[in-house]
Chain A
Amino acid sequence: SQKIEQNSEALNIQEGKTATLTCNYTNYSPAYLQWYRQDPGRGPVFLLLIRENEKEKRKERLKVTFDTTLKQSLFHITASQPADSATYLCALLFYGNNRLAFGKGNQVVVIP
């Protein structure tokens, strides 16, 4: 069965630096991959989508890459700010499926 892996250890990063998170998957490539942000006690909020035929997507200070050879997506927050502190989830949809599968999330702590 498919596995989606995100680092379980929190990423502590200095304000102004670039935070980089990884989402790895096994077996088949997904049709697309989404990234969400979740703050404590709240529901996830959509950030970005990248499709399997796309290498990179950007939105303001966020950048997502997708490498189907490595079976990996990288999520970057440039010039990180304390307000970026949250848990970030990757979600994948595989062909032939209506179900979005989520990773367990990776916490980011931006230190002022």
Chain B
Amino acid sequence: NAGVTQTPKFQVLKTGQSMTLQCAQDMNHEYMSWYRQDPGMGLRLIHYSVGAGITDQGEVPNGYNVSRSTTEDFPLRLLSAAPSQTSVYFCASSRAAGLAGDEQYFGPGTRLTVT
């Protein structure tokens, strides 16, 4: 199993550009999520999905879009990049959501810089 994979590893964008961060998992997990991690702020939830076709907003959803057309993939779209979106982005998956308490498997992260 490859686990959770993320591409690209690094990306530099200019303000106003759009891009998609890719996330895939091969563990047949129902729950997938996107976090951003900033110095001094910890991990903050952007969007999450409890299954194919179902997505919901997390703590900091503005400026980001997601869709979940398959169980395996959960791409994160930046609609119009802003310097405030400079961060490290982590995708995570787990077998189930909520009270199940299943461990989250994290990808290696994408380091994004917006100039």
B-side interface size class: 20 to 34
Q: Is B106 an interface residue (CB 8 A)?
A: yes
Chain A CB within 10 Å, residue with most, of B31, B48, B101: B101
Q: Is A25 an interface residue (CB 8 A)?
A: no
> B99 near A46 (CB under 8 angstroms)?
no
Q: Give chain B residues whose Cβ lies under 8 Å from the Cβ of A36.
A: 104
- How far is B102's CA from A34's CA once the two chains are assembled, in angstroms? 9
Q: Is B109 an interface residue (CB 8 A)?
A: yes
Q: Is B98 an interface residue (CB 8 A)?
A: yes
> A98 near B48 (CB under 8 angstroms)?
yes
Q: Is A99 an interface residue (CB 8 A)?
A: yes
Stretch of B38-46, B66-74, B76-84 contacting A (4+ beta carbons < 8 Å): B38-46
> A99 near B101 (CB under 8 angstroms)?
no
- How far is B109's CA from A104's CA once the two chains are assembled, in angstroms? 17
- How far is B41's CA from A104's CA once the two chains are assembled, in angstroms? 6
Known: A98-B98, A102-B43. A46 touches B104 (CB 8 A): yes
> A44 near B99 (CB under 8 angstroms)?
no
Q: Which of B43-71 contact A (CB under 8 A)?
A: 43-45, 48, 50, 56, 58-59
The smallest beta-carbon distance between B1 and chain A, in angstroms, is 15
Q: Is A59 an interface residue (CB 8 A)?
A: no
> A43 near B106 (CB under 8 angstroms)?
yes
Q: Give chain B residues whose Cβ lies under 8 Å from the Cβ of A31.
A: 99, 101
Of chain A, the residue at the smallest CB distance from B106 is A43
Q: Give chain B residues whose Cβ lies under 8 Å from the Cβ of A99.
A: 45, 48, 58-59
Query: Could you list 9 examples of A-B contacts with CB < 8 Å?
Result: A31-B99, A43-B4, A43-B107, A44-B90, A89-B43, A91-B43, A91-B104, A99-B45, A99-B58
**List of 10 A-B pairs having minimum Cβ-Cβ separation, nearest first:** A43-B106, A46-B103, A104-B42, A102-B43, A98-B97, A32-B101, A98-B98, A44-B106, A102-B42, A49-B101
